[in-house]
């Protein structure tokens, strides 16, 4: 499987390069990066302390999409929109781990999925995918007397809040309860907020240090509390999931797939 990586010089990009190189049947064909830092034109082995991988770092995503069978994208919403257009032009499959996507962005994903195969998830971790499935199941089992709160913490550099993973967990909880998340979500609390409304799904956001990603879904009622937690201690777990998704996309029909599809859940 010929794999390209956009935004290859960042922390996640380097983890993806390492994982592609370590995956049997995967071939790294190139990566893109913005024109700074002196990396353009260099071999991607430079990113992971290797002499040569035979794949170049460029600032030409169009050329990368032409030669790759699948491109992995952990960038920004604006960049992902551009990459979706390129993927539709070239017929290239996509794995998208970009967070902070808007409702309009999701509409673009749906349009692109009519022409290409893509896997999109706010978190590519196998563990988080299982946590999301469990959250949906538990929310369906627990009655309305259980308040649902989603707590997340990430490193100080993360720019979106709540995290895409937290919102995905909230969405799973809402689906379990048979409600629309937009109608019950509470993403901020400040000042005199009054009593907690029945059925609300709350979010709490923490930022600091180098935390890769901690997520807890809390089901709290009078007398007891159930907590489902996932803690990431190594960014490579996201890379493993993304490359697994990229390999899974081989010969797939156009469609908007998730990590549930990849794992057969």
For the four alpha carbons of 62, 83, 121 and 234, in that order, the dihedral sign comes to positive
Rounded Cα–Cα distance for residues 170 and 182 (Å): 10
* Residue 98 counted as an annotated binding residue: yes
* Residue 54 counted as an annotated binding residue: no
* Residue 155 counted as an annotated binding residue: yes
> Which alpha helices (H) appear in the chain, and where do they start and end?
11-22, 61-67, 77-90, 103-112, 126-141, 164-177, 181-184, 236-248, 259-263
* Residue 124 counted as an annotated binding residue: yes
* Residue 8 counted as an annotated binding residue: yes
* Residue 165 counted as an annotated binding residue: yes
What is the token pair recorded at 208?
A: 């600091």
Closest CA to 236 of 125, 77, 73: 125
* Residue 121 counted as an annotated binding residue: yes
* Residue 10 counted as an annotated binding residue: yes
* Residue 77 counted as an annotated binding residue: no
* Residue 33 counted as an annotated binding residue: yes
CB neighbours (10 Å) of residue 102? 10
* Residue 222 counted as an annotated binding residue: no
Q: Which residues are catalytic?
A: 154, 158
Rounded Cα–Cα distance for residues 172 and 53 (Å): 40
Give, as one character, the DSSP assignment of residue 191.
S
Q: Are 64 and 71 in contact (CB under 8 A)?
A: yes
Q: Which residues are annotated as a binding site for NADP(+)?
A: 34
Which residue positions form the known binding site for NAD(+)?
7-12, 33, 97-99, 121-124
Annotated binding site for (S)-2,3,4,5-tetrahydrodipicolinate: 155, 164-165
Q: Which residues are annotated as a binding site?
A: 7-12, 33-34, 97-99, 121-124, 155, 164-165
């Amino acid at each position: 499987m010929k794999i390209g990586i956009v935004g290859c010089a960042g922390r996640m990009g380097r983890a993806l390069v390492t994982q592609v190189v370590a995956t049997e049947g995967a071939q790294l064909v190139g990566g893109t990066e913005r024109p700074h830092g002196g990396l353009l034109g260099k071999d991607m082995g430079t990113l992971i302390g290797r002499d040569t991988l035979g794949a170049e770092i460029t600032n030409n995503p169009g050329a990368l999409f032409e030669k790759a069978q699948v491109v992995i994208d952990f960038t920004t919403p604006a960049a992902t929109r551009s990459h979706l257009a390129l993927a539709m032009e070239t017929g290239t499959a996509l794995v998208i781990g970009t967070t902070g996507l808007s409702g309009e962005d999701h509409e673009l994903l749906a349009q692109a999925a009519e022409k290409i195969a893509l896997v999109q998830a706010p978190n590519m971790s196998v563990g988080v995918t299982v946590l999301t499935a469990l959250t949906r199941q538990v929310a369906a089992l627990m009655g309305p007397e259980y308040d649902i709160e989603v707590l997340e913490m990430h490193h100080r550099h993360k720019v979106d809040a709540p995290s895409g993973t937290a919102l995905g967990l909230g969405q799973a909880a809402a689906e379990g309860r048979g409600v629309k998340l937009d109608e019950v979500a509470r993403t901020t609390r400040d000042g005199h907020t009054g009593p907690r409304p029945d059925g609300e799904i709350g979010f709490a956001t923490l930022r600091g240090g180098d935390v890769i990603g901690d997520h807890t879904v809390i089901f709290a009622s009078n007398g007891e509390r159930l907590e489902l937690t996932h803690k990431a201690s190594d960014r490579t777990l996201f890379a493993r999931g993304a490359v697994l998704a990229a390999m899974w996309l081989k010969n797939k029909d156009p469609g908007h797939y998730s990590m549930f599809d990849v794992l057969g859940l």
